[in-house]
Amino acid sequence: MNFESARVNMVDNQIRTTDVTSHSVQEAFLAVPRERFVPEKFKALAYVDSDVEICPPDDGRPARFLMQASPLAKLLQLAAISKDDVVMEIGCGTGYVSALLSHLAGSVVAVEADEALAAEARTRLADYANVSLVVAPLDQGASSGAPYDVIFVSGSVEEIPASLLSQLRDGGRLVTVQGYGGSARAKVFVSERGAVSENVFFNASIKPLPGFAKAREFVF
The 3-state DSSP class for residue 123 equals helix
Residue 215 has pLDDT above 90, yes or no: no
Between 36-50, 101-115, 179-193, 204-218, the lowest mean confidence (pLDDT) is in: 204-218
Name the pLDDT band for 195 (thresholds 50, 70, 90). Answer: very high
Instruction: For residues 21 and 81, give the distance between their C-alpha atoms in angstroms, rounded to a whole number.
Output: 14
Name the pLDDT band for 211 (thresholds 50, 70, 90). Answer: confident
Predicted pLDDT at 149: 98
Secondary structure of 63-111 as H, E, C letters: CEEECCHHHHHHHHHHHCCCCCCEEEEECCCCCHHHHHHHHHCCEEEEE
How much of the chain, in percent, has pLDDT values that exceed 70?
Answer: 97
Question: The domain 3-203 belongs to what CATH superfamily?
Answer: Vaccinia Virus protein VP39 (3.40.50.150)
Residue 203 has pLDDT above 90, yes or no: yes
* pLDDT tens-digit series, residues 2-43: 999 999 999 999 999 999 999 999 999 999 999 999 999 999
Q: How many CA atoms lie within 13 A of 181 on its CB side?
A: 1
- All residues at 6 or more sequence positions from 12 whose CB lies less than 8 Å from its CB, including other chains: none
CA neighbor of 207 nearest in space, from 67, 46, 21, 81:
67
CA neighbor of 32 nearest in space, from 6, 71, 59, 1:
6
Predicted pLDDT at 194: 85
The amino acid at residue 71 is P
Q: How far is CA 170 from CA 55, 161, 218, in A?
A: 36, 17, 36
CB of 55 within 8 A of CB of 74? no
Residue 190 has pLDDT above 90, yes or no: yes
